[in-house]
Homo-oligomer: A and B are copies of this chain.
């Protein structure tokens, strides 16, 4: 399916503020970026770099006043949710080197504390894809989706205690459970066509059967239309923006994902 994604951010900046943005969807095995725009007002020097996960990031220093970031992309992405029940667990010794760091615990995914729960949830599953499916289903059934919540970002153990969270939290819990079973898992931030209410979204991927598969515990009906912007171990790695110094106000955020119809 052909999608047009857009993200409009408007900040009210009080003092010179360094920002790091991560707003460029990347062409990959599941999506192809046909066109892309990245405009900012005022016009400022921007330096682009790749972070350790391969995400393209942009650094800039915003002067006092308004800062507007306006990005858009035309993306060809998969029509359907790619699934493979039965895909086997990959033995540690056969994992590619580049995947190994996704086995380790991280800021919001304390996988070192979930071994018992994960064993319980997946006790009747074949190792691999089916374990991740059971985890995805367990998170969907046991965590309530609740947008009003803590002001501070909670971790998987905290979310598990609280029993509620947003898309990012659902994913962190799923990731922590997977890693505790030695299944590499990572957070993805991006767009999802048809998301209600529309916003940026977060889901997760698990490495089974020799490749990464998509999982999303927040959606009851699994379908295509995902557009990845960034990958990382958890939300600490894939913030859409990081700012340093006294916090600036994000006064407008507008996200849109529309289907483009070929003529």
Interface check A149, CB cutoff 8 A: no
- Taken together as a complex, chains A and B put the C-alpha atoms of A28 and B237 apart, in Å, by 22
- Taken together as a complex, chains A and B put the C-alpha atoms of A136 and B241 apart, in Å, by 30
Complex interface: chain B residues within 8 A of A103 (CB) = 242, 244
Question: Do residues B35 and A153 form an inter-chain contact, with CB atoms below 8 A?
Answer: no
User: When the two chains form the complex, which single residue of B27, B45, B49 contacts A46, counting CB atoms closer than 8 Å?
Assistant: B27
A interface residues, tally (CB under 8 Å): 51
- Taken together as a complex, chains A and B put the C-alpha atoms of A107 and B102 apart, in Å, by 13
User: When the two chains form the complex, which single residue of B27, B52, B61 contacts A93, counting CB atoms closer than 8 Å?
Assistant: B61
Whole-angstrom distance between the Cβ of A252 and the nearest chain B Cβ: 20
User: With A20-B100, A107-B107 known to touch, is A92 a contact of B48 (CB < 8 Å)?
Assistant: no
Interface residues, chain A, with chain B CB atoms under 8 Å away: 18, 20, 26-29, 32-39, 43, 45-52, 54, 58-59, 61, 76, 91-93, 97, 100-101, 103-107, 109-110, 112-113, 152-153, 182, 236-237, 242, 244-245
User: Which 6 A-B pairs have CB atoms at the shortest separation, nearest pair first?
Assistant: A18-B92, A35-B37, A27-B48, A49-B97, A92-B244, A105-B107
